[in-house]
Amino acid sequence: MVGDATRMGVDALVWTPGRFTVLSEGDERLLMGAASDVRAFERRRDIIEEGERPDDVHLVIEGWAARYKLLPNGDQPIMAFLIPGDICGLHVTLLDQMDHSIEAISPCQVAFIPRDVISNILGRSERLTRALWWSPPLDEPILREWLVTVGHRRVDRRLAHLFCEMPLRSKAVGLTDDDSFELPLTQDEFGDTTGLFTVHTHRMMNDLRGQGLFTHRSGRLIVHDLDGLMAFAEFDPNYLHQASKRARLAQVGST
């Protein structure tokens, strides 16, 4: 079983709902089978709309998606990013209907997994079951940190904070090895995320760029000095709970 850890490649990780869980071959086959209905979404297309009662659970395979709401004034605040390996909709049954929408931020591949297939998995693989149950609780701490960031941190810190969180999450899921990673956001979308207006976002980006901590160009962010950036953003990676994920990975690996 421990062998799985060395065997698995980026793909296995990326396809893993729980992130950081190592799958046995059987589990992987089970999951691949479940995720057979993969659909493509262009940038700006809604994947799920507010008010829907989706029959499927959604697993992001490729690209970025965002949870957002449409406000009366036309504003579209972004409340979360979903990157490959992130799952959503597990709890929609409980909640009856979506209270927000999810759209593709970059061209996306999303697996639609019927709810009964999920139930089926839950019965068959303890490992996958755990992975599936871990996923939603891990979103909550991130949401809380965003709330703190948006409400209580200076604007330049908000951006810097995002530039710390996303590479860590990308790394955790095997999307990047070095300090460069996909960040397919327009300045508008930065604004929707941080609660700022485009123009001011841009100015803050300028100021930040001046410090030489990172470079942002054509949809990629290169972090030159992660420690410096984390210090500036007052970023404490604790809320991502990646350490405990790794611990659980080890646990699962040895079972």
User: Under the rule (CB under 7 A), what is the footprint of DNA?
Assistant: 154-156, 186-188, 195-200, 202-206, 218
Q: Which stretch binds a second copy (CB under 8 A): 30-38, 55-63, 130-138, 219-227?
A: 130-138
The yes or no reply on residue 146 touching a second copy (CB under 8 A) is: yes
Kindly write out the interface string for residues 92-111 of this chain, putting x where it contacts a second copy by CB under 8 A and - elsewhere.
--xxxx-xx-----------
CB of 212 to a second copy, least distance (A): 23
The yes or no reply on residue 77 touching a second copy (CB under 8 A) is: yes
Specify whether the CB–CB gap between 159 and 196 falls below 8 A.
no
CB of 209 to a second copy, least distance (A): 23
Q: Which does 143 bind (CB under 5 to 8 A by kind): a second copy, DNA, none?
A: a second copy
Distance of CA 161 to the CA centre of its chain: 15
Specify whether the CB–CB gap between 221 and 171 falls below 8 A.
no
Query: Which of 36, 119, 244, 251 is in the footprint of a second copy by CB under 8 A?
Result: 244
Q: How far apart are CA 175 and CA 224, in angstroms?
A: 18
Which of 93, 186 has the CB closer to DNA?
Answer: 186
Calculate the alpha carbon distances from 200 to 38, 147, 159, 203 in Å. Answer: 38, 20, 12, 5
Token pair listed for 248: 């659980």
Q: How far apart are CA 155 and CA 25, in angstroms?
A: 46
CB of 156 to a second copy, least distance (A): 14
Q: Which does 155 bind (CB under 5 to 8 A by kind): DNA, a second copy, none?
A: DNA
Which of 2, 143 has the CB closer to a second copy?
Answer: 143
Q: How far apart are CA 84 and CA 106, in angstroms?
A: 12
SS3 51: coil
Per-residue burial over 145-169, b = 16 or more CB atoms within 10 Å of its CB, e = otherwise: bbeebbeebebbbbbbbbbbbbbbb
Sheet containing 180-182: which strands, arranged edge to edge? 180-182, 220-223, 214-217
Q: Which does 134 bind (CB under 5 to 8 A by kind): DNA, a second copy, none?
A: a second copy
By CB under 8 A, name the binding residues for a second copy.
67, 69, 71-72, 75, 77, 79-80, 91, 94-97, 99-100, 133-134, 136-141, 143-148, 150-153, 194-195, 234, 238-239, 241, 243-244, 247
